[in-house]
Structure 1
Amino acid sequence: MRVTRAVLCAAAVLALAGCGSGGDTKAVPPTATGSLESLAAEVKCKPNMQTDADTIRQAICTNTDGKFILATFSTDRGQREWINDAKDYGGYYLVGRKWVAVGDDGVVKALRGTLGGDVEIGTNHAGHASHSGHGG
Structure 2
Amino acid sequence: MRGAALAACLAFLPLATACGGGEDDVASASGKPSQMSAAPAAGVVAPAKVEVIASLTGCKAKIRIEADQLRQGVCHTKKVDYLITTFPEEKYKKTWLDSAAIYGGKYLVGSRWVVSAKPEMLAGFRAKLGGTIEELDGVGPSAEPSGS
TM-score by length of 1: 0.70
Aligned residues of 1:35 and 1:72 also touching (Cα < 8 A): yes
2-structure distance, mates of 1:26, 1:42: 18
Asked if 1:93 is matched to 2:97, the reply is no
2-structure distance, mates of 1:39, 1:82: 18
**Corresponding residue number in structure 1 for 2:25:** 21
2-structure distance, mates of 1:99, 1:20: 22
Aligned residues of 1:65 and 1:110 also touching (Cα < 8 A): no
- In the alignment of these two chains, the number of paired residues is 114
Asked if 1:71 is matched to 2:85, the reply is yes
Where do 1:121-132 residues align within 5 Å? Answer: 121-125=135-139, 128-129=142-143, 131-132=144-145
- CA-atom RMSD, angstroms? 2.9
Change (3 A) 1:126 1:107: farther
Change (3 A) 1:106 1:26: farther
2-structure distance, mates of 1:71, 1:49: 10
Letter in 1 for 2:84: L
Name stretches of at least 5 consecutive residues in structure 2 with no aligned partner: 1-21, 27-34
Give identity over the alignment, percent: 28
**Corresponding residue number in structure 1 for 2:125:** 111
Q: Which has the larger radius of gyration?
A: 1
1:106 partner SS: helix
Greater RCO (CA < 8 Å, at least 6 residues apart): 2
1-structure distance, mates of 2:100, 2:38: 28
Cα offsets for 1:19-55 (capped at 9, x unmatched): 7328x98985153224110110000112121101222
1-structure distance, mates of 2:96, 2:36: 30
Aligned residues of 1:43 and 1:63 also touching (Cα < 8 A): no
2-structure distance, mates of 1:47, 1:107: 17
TM-score by length of 2: 0.65
Aligned residues of 1:68 and 1:107 also touching (Cα < 8 A): no
Name stretches of at least 5 consecutive residues in structure 1 with no aligned partner: 1-17
Letter in 1 for 2:24: G
1-structure distance, mates of 2:75, 2:113: 14
Cα offsets for 1:98-135 (capped at 9, x unmatched): 11101221121221111110111122457733x33xxx
1:64: how far off?
Answer: 4.9
